[in-house]
C-alpha cells in the first residue's frame, strides 16, 4: 500500500514522540546513580536510610558520634559511598558476636 509522504512523515514523528515519552527509569533511589561508572557508587540519604534501617537524623548523629562514613558533598547534595556504608554495617555486625 502506497502512503502519502505527509502521512508517512506524521507517523514517523509520532513514533519518535512515543519513544521520547516512554516511562522514565523505574529504579528506586538506591538503584540510581547520577555518576554511574565514574568513581565509587554514590547513594542518597534515602538509600542510606533504606540500607541501614535508620532515620536521617540518626545517620547524621552517627557520623558525629559513632564513626559512620562521612557524606560527600556535591553542590547542595550529600551522597555516600555505598561500599563505605556496607563496610560500616559489616563492622557493626561483626561486633555483635563479641
Instruction: Map out the domains of the chain as residue ranges.
Output: 26-95
Give the Cα separation of 61 and 76 in Å (integer): 19
CA-based nearest residue to 82, from 95, 96, 69? 69
Distance CA 43, CA 34 (A): 9
Q: The domain 26-95: what is its CATH number? A: 1.10.1660.10
Place of cell 547524621: 60
Q: Cell numbers of 95, please?
A: 561486633
pTM: predicted TM-score of the whole model, two decimal places: 0.59
Confidence bin at 22 (pLDDT 50/70/90): very low
| Rounded Cα–Cα distance for residues 18 and 86 (Å) | 40
Greater model confidence, 5 or 69: 69
Amino acid at each position: 500500500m502506497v502512503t502519502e509522504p505527509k502521512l508517512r512523515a506524521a507517523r514517523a514523528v509520532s513514533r519518535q514522540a512515543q519513544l521520547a515519552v516512554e516511562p522514565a527509569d523505574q529504579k528506586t533511589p538506591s538503584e540510581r546513580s547520577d555518576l554511574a561508572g565514574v568513581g565509587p557508587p554514590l547513594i542518597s540519604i534515602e538509600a542510606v536510610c533504606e540500607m541501614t534501617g535508620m532515620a536521617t537524623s540518626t545517620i547524621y548523629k552517627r557520623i558525629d558520634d559513632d564513626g559512620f562514613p562521612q557524606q560527600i558533598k556535591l553542590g547542595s547534595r550529600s551522597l555516600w559511598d555505598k561500599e563505605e556504608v556496607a563496610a560500616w554495617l559489616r563492622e557493626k555486625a561483626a561486633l555483635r558476636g563479641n
